[in-house]
Structure 1
Amino acid sequence: MLFRLILALSLLAPVAQAQIETRTPSHCIALADATPGLEYLTLASMPDVAAETVHLHYIAHASFLIRSHGGLNMVTDFTGFTGTLPIIPDVVTMNRAHESHFTQFPDPAIPHILPGWGEFGQGVDHALDLGEALIRNVSTDIRSQFAGGEENGNSIFIFEMAGLCIGHLGHLHHEPGAAQYAAIGRLDVVMAPVDGGYTLDLPTMIRILKRLKSSIVIPMHWFSDFGLGDFLTAMSDDFTVIHVEGPSLQVSRDRLPSRPTIMVLRPQYLRSDN
């Protein structure tokens, strides 16, 4: 009887192991092979996501929903409100340079709340491995609205999933140093603030994006079409510009554009009426 029990358990072990979500290794430190093509979505409800694919939805300001094939929902620069669609994210990231990038009262039902700051000047280190996705950060400095600043007071958050490396620059106030660039690695997709002053002036932001050489740049933190247009004009020599005319797109590693591309999404809160 004991022998039969051991044999049964040994046969079940591979099945149980196969059910554990695994993460395709990303290429943060190496260029991925690239071929043209992306699937654009304008759905505001929670979509199904194909295997080895990531769903990105621009919610508002600097907040994005990042959704995995397995149903992980992650929200960047979470303010406590994502729209009328009832959703408890699995992970939220926050930055504290301004109140439009964090909330003091995140829902306690959220399993993983990742602030981009720690003790004053000390920064914070996150490396949250959820199997299907790894979420990590690179600390950056912030300046005060009036004077002074704080070292390591904010973070760039990086999501490694479906073989992709997706970066959210947050409320970035300075160009990363050599060690920070190295820690960031190769970003396939980057969400970049392009307001031209509240974060960084456009020449500095453009220099950062050209150095990162991401396949896809998604502008965020812009306050008018005029300001957005200034950024797009300045980038158009080296980047293809595509206006998605919606808030969402789905990205996979084997369908990244062959030429660096700016994907302009139109922010839209998650709605329960779709």
Structure 2
Amino acid sequence: MMPRNAVYLCLLLPLALLALARPAAAQPASAVSQCQAIAEALPNVMFARYSPGPSTPPVRIAATQEGTVRLTLLGHSTFHIETPGGISIATDYSGYHRPPRTPDVVTMNKAHSTHYTLTPGPEIKTVLHGWGEEGQPADHDVVVGDAYIRNVTTDIRSGYGAMEPDGNSIFIFEVAGLCIGHLGHLHHELDDSDYAEIGRLDVLMVPVDGGLTMGAASMVRVVERLRSAIILPMHRPGPQVARFLDLFGPGFDRRFADSPSITVSLNSLPSKPQIVVLQGM
């Protein structure tokens, strides 16, 4: 069997040859996700096939490029993602955990005020809400520099045990040939249609609080189904990280990093899933 990285490179080559140059500013993209294309080619992974309608604009494919992506845990569920092309992205941005420079893109979820702000500042050019407006689910499909960003919505708990449809978004960042996913404030296990829309994730940022989002056993099942190469715990109060790690069997490696940052490239992905606990809270 070919190594994971060799399979990815073979699958990404035709996408790269068909790619269009990315603009520097955020622009809508009718794109074929390379993460879904990879999932289609790998065994035992469901894929939501792209079916353009009669008025669908020409398909654009997010270009593949080599390089490393740097991810830094700023705190809670806010990560700073730095792309090879110099694009700065902050996830679950509330304005409290700030990256060292003004981000080009921020993503948000509204389950709690620690995951969003309605006043991010005019200096941030691309603000992506994980919740819908006027009764419509959030639907993001944009290119910013060398990053292609899309979302898959999930429901969140509301008052008196009810669920609010599409109140959370799993944001997916496709850059440097990598598929990077942030689960946001996930409140329920995913179904087959969710996994199909997500496709393959090489790097997964996962909340491990064990209750504020959802129970640890349920979250572990999501992680096992996605089977990402690198898993980064977040949203991790108290001793929850140790409890989370204990729920995984020998099919997953564990590593405690000596800093809040990790650099990742397509060629550096481990062949066995690895849970990396970054420094920080």
TM-score, length-scaled by structure 2: 0.76
Q: 1:272 matched to which residue of 2?
A: none
Q: Does the 8 Å CA contact 1:140/1:151 hold for their aligned counterparts?
A: yes
Mapped partners of 2:202, 2:228: distance in 1: 5
Q: 1:73 matched to which residue of 2?
A: 88
Aligned-residue Cα RMSD (Å) equals: 2.5
The structure 2 residue matched to 1:59, chosen from 62, 74, 83, is: 74
The structure 1 residue matched to 2:187, chosen from 166, 173, 180, is: 173
Cα deviation for residue 121 of structure 1 reads 5.0
Give the share of equivalent positions with the same residue, in percent: 47
Counterpart of 1:237, as a letter, is P
Q: 1:82 matched to which residue of 2?
A: 97
Cα deviation for residue 81 of structure 1 reads 2.8
Q: Does the 8 Å CA contact 2:74/2:99 hold for their aligned counterparts?
A: no
Q: Does the 8 Å CA contact 1:80/1:107 hold for their aligned counterparts?
A: no
Q: Is 1:211 aligned with 2:225?
A: yes
Larger radius of gyration: 1
DSSP 3-state at the match of 1:180 = helix
Q: Does the 8 Å CA contact 2:66/2:177 hold for their aligned counterparts?
A: no
Mapped partners of 2:199, 2:149: distance in 1: 14
Counterpart of 2:262, as a letter, is L
Cα 1:254/1:122, change in 2 over 3 Å? same
Cα deviation for residue 236 of structure 1 reads 4.3
Q: Is 1:253 aligned with 2:253?
A: no
Cα deviation for residue 52 of structure 1 reads 1.7
Q: Is 1:136 aligned with 2:150?
A: yes
Cα 1:217/1:28, change in 2 over 3 Å? farther
Q: Does the 8 Å CA contact 1:26/1:161 hold for their aligned counterparts?
A: no
Counterpart of 2:84, as a letter, is H
Q: Does the 8 Å CA contact 1:120/1:150 hold for their aligned counterparts?
A: no
Cα deviation for residue 253 of structure 1 reads 0.6
Counterpart of 2:76, as a letter, is H
Counterpart of 1:81, as a letter, is Y
Cα deviation for residue 219 of structure 1 reads 0.4
| TM-superposition CA deviations, 1:214-262 (whole Å, max 9, x none) | 00000000101x2110101111422100101210010001110011000
Q: 1:39 matched to which residue of 2?
A: none
Q: 1:13 matched to which residue of 2?
A: none
Q: Does the 8 Å CA contact 1:70/1:132 hold for their aligned counterparts?
A: yes
Q: Does the 8 Å CA contact 1:173/1:200 hold for their aligned counterparts?
A: yes
Gaps of 5+ in 1: 1-16, 34-49, 269-274
Q: Is 1:113 aligned with 2:127?
A: yes
Q: How does 1:1-274 map to 2 (within 5 A)?
A: 26-30=34-38, 51-83=66-98, 85=100, 87-119=101-133, 121-144=135-158, 146-224=160-238, 226-267=239-280
Cα 1:18/1:80, change in 2 over 3 Å? closer
Q: 1:47 matched to which residue of 2?
A: none
Mapped partners of 2:144, 2:22: distance in 1: 14
Q: Does the 8 Å CA contact 1:26/1:162 hold for their aligned counterparts?
A: no
Mapped partners of 1:185, 1:84: distance in 2: 28
Cα 1:30/1:248, change in 2 over 3 Å? same
DSSP 3-state at the match of 2:138 = coil
TM-score, length-scaled by structure 1: 0.78
Q: Does the 8 Å CA contact 1:121/1:150 hold for their aligned counterparts?
A: no
Q: Would you say how many aligned residue pairs link Structure 1 and Structure 2?
A: 232
Gaps of 5+ in 2: 1-19, 25-32, 43-64
Q: Does the 8 Å CA contact 1:92/1:113 hold for their aligned counterparts?
A: yes
DSSP 3-state at the match of 1:30 = helix
| TM-superposition CA deviations, 1:98-140 (whole Å, max 9, x none) | 0110012111110000000113653110011124110100010
